[in-house]
Amino acid sequence: MTTLITGANRGIGHALFAHYQAAGAPVIGTSRKPTPGLRLLDVTDAAGQRALGQTLDTLDLLICNAGVYHDRGQRLDDGYAPALWAEGFNTNVVGVFLTIQALLPALRHAKGKIAIISSQMASDTKAPGGSYIYRASKAAALNLGRNLATDLKSQGIAVGIYHPGWVQTDMGGSGADITEAQSAQGLAARFAALSLATTGCFETWDGQAHPF
């Protein structure tokens, strides 16, 4: 079973990469910066995505993890510059779509699975304010995953969307609830359980259904 993880150079992506490596499973990781052991890929680069897709005949699990969160602490009155919106949506939404589009032939061949790492911040039931770009982009990624689940079900490809937990990463901070390894272990179990019967699910790292 071959797995591909975008954004595998740090944080949750790196922990997932290490998890699958430790299990002895074939795993490919990507990074937009040159990183030993990982393939160079900017998820917003359509040509780079197509080139990656042409190297793979079959793919069992695609984990769309690459993401950015640049609007933390921005002020409503004078923050959230258009360039931040563009970068946030290009990476967190367009990048997810381009990755899936480029790897669809390999996924179809294996009748594989797609896991999209979103966030509880995508949920419209949790709206404490702030972080407008990140929240909106992760909500869009959730919507994208739900619609892909509908379109790809007849092709035998299941799609799940996941909240990885509040994780002790550069993004989550040292005071977060769980470690990267705990998140990765829980997420890997969710991916293993994903099926056509549960396609379109929005779940937490520990297996709870997350409200939309």
pTM of the full predicted structure? 0.95
Tokens of 166: 């509040």
Neighbours of 36 (CB within 10 A): 6
Residue position matching structure tokens 């967190």: 92
The domain 3-204 having CATH identifier 3.40.50.720: the answer here is yes
Taking residues 42-68, report their average pLDDT: 97
Amino acid 44: pLDDT: 98
Question: Any residues with CB less than 8 A from the CB of 194 and at least 6 apart, and which?
Answer: 113, 115, 158, 160, 201
Find out whether 186 and 131 touch, Cβ atoms under 8 Å: no
17 exposure class (CB count in 10 Å sphere: 0-12, 13-18, 19+)? buried
Question: Any residues with CB less than 8 A from the CB of 51 and at least 6 apart, and which?
Answer: none
For 71-130, the pLDDT digits (tens) are 989 999 999 999 999 999 999 999 999 999 999 999 999 999 999 999 998 888 877 889
Residue position matching structure tokens 């197509």: 50
Amino acid 176: pLDDT: 66
Question: Within the chain, what is the greatest distance between any pair of CA atoms?
Answer: 51
Domain ranges of the chain: 3-204
Determine how β-strand 202-204 pairs with β-strand 3-5.
Answer: unpaired
d(CA 60, CA 75) in angstroms, rounded, equals: 42
For 151-182, the pLDDT digits (tens) are 999 999 999 999 998 887 766 666 667 899 99
Secondary structure of residue 95 in the 3-state scheme: helix
Amino acid 172: pLDDT: 61
d(CA 81, CA 65) in angstroms, rounded, equals: 24
Amino acid 50: pLDDT: 97
Q: How far is CA 82 from CA 88, 95, 102, in A?
A: 10, 18, 28
Q: How far is CA 21 from CA 35, 79, 111, in A?
A: 16, 41, 22
d(CA 183, CA 171) in angstroms, rounded, equals: 14
Which is nearest to 182 in space by CA: 5, 28, 18, 72? 18
Residues in the chain: 212
